[in-house]
Amino acid sequence: MRLRNKQIRRKLWELDKFILEDYRRQSEAQKQKPNSNEYEKEFKKRIKLAIKILKPITDEATKGLRIYKAKGSKSFLKPNEKLRLILIHQLFGKSNRIMSNALLLFSLMTGVDVSYKTIERLYSDEEVEIALFNLLVIMLKKKGISKINACGDATGYSLMISKHYASEVQRLKDKVKDQEQKKKKAFVYKFALMDISTRMYICFGTSLISEAKAFAKAMQMLKELEIKIESIRLDRYYSFPCYVSLFKYAKVYIIPRKDSKLGHGTEWLETMKSFVLDTMNYLKEYFQRVNSENSFAQDKKLFGWRISQKLEDRINTALFCRLIWHDLINLFRG
């Protein structure tokens, strides 16, 4: 059957008028309410297992890892100690000063006694960056992930406690400070790609500029991994042929924009055909994107919605640590 532009426009009109409402009603009727007590019990079990495996898996990720530095003082921390320290810092969500003082309690047992400046510098440490990537690869291999049905989405994290002053009077009093505040970046964008069946993050990217740049960085990271995308679900932000064509060998599920047209290559044509000719099954696949939204909500519940780091590379490392914890916890999902 030959597809025409008017069929896409007609289907989008039907989608807004009738189909989405019917689909939502059917989904709500089939949806089972989660048992919150059972969920919390299962989650606590998995996070305990994640903490238990932290030492051996970080040792594995840093085995033989050495970065040659011609200049500067050498760190007294080993790569595995750095990796565990920064992951623990993110998990507990404490300030660098509080965290360094808390570590004194463990110094007799671990031999680790560091300052808050040492902790902050870990977020720009090349060894830590490599070790985090190694750890991600190890976890994906342990979970047996080589080809996936994926969903991808973006979220934002605040870089400030508050973007605005409490009242107009305060803003008038501190006009200079207010102008400086506006120059600062208020949010960081994070895009993450997830395997639907395991709820494991595969790759991610961050940007202080736009969601599109965060997505591009995530795709760069994906190229470093030997993982095949069999299908992918993206929201309307990515409803352009240029994004669909990135996944030449995958089934792509997006909701077209109202001005969408044909004539943009084979991948776009096949996506439009599935949307127009098999709409209900297409929507069933597309709305598995909810897994990304749910995981972002769970991550923010565990770690909070704010990033305390200020430099871009350190912000990226902080969010990488949170991704690692998410995957460690889901490593033990049944």
- Model confidence pLDDT, tens digit, residues 33-45: 666 777 788 888 8
Average pLDDT over residues 158-175: 52
Q: 189 burial class (0-12, 13-18, 19+ CB within 10 angstroms)? A: buried
Cβ(91)–Cβ(97) below 8 Å: no
Taking the alpha carbons at both ends of the chain, their separation in whole angstroms is 43
pLDDT at 162 over 60: no
Q: Counting every residue, how long is the chain?
A: 334
Confidence of residue 207 (pLDDT cuts 50, 70, 90): very high
CA gap 217, 199 in Å, rounded: 20
Entry pTM: 0.84
Average pLDDT over residues 11-15: 85
pLDDT at 100 over 70: no
pLDDT at 310 over 80: yes
CB atoms within 10 A of CB 315: 22
Angle in degrees, 0-180, between the axes of helices 36-61 and 312-330, rounded to the nearest 10:
120
Confidence of residue 124 (pLDDT cuts 50, 70, 90): very high
Of 17-31, 75-89, 249-263, where does mean pLDDT reach its minimum? 17-31
Average pLDDT over residues 182-199: 85
Closest C-alpha to 230, from 288, 182, 280: 288
More confident residue, 27 or 260: 260
CA gap 328, 286 in Å, rounded: 27
Cβ(253)–Cβ(306) below 8 Å: no
Average pLDDT over residues 255-279: 85
CB atoms within 10 A of CB 190: 27
Give the sheet arrangement for strand 228-233, strand by strand. Answer: 200-207, 187-195, 147-158, 228-233, 251-253
Closest C-alpha to 238, from 158, 130, 154, 117: 154
pLDDT at 60 over 50: yes
pLDDT at 108 over 80: no
Q: Which of the listed ranges 168-172, 204-208, 272-276, 307-311 does the model predict with the highest average pLDDT?
A: 204-208
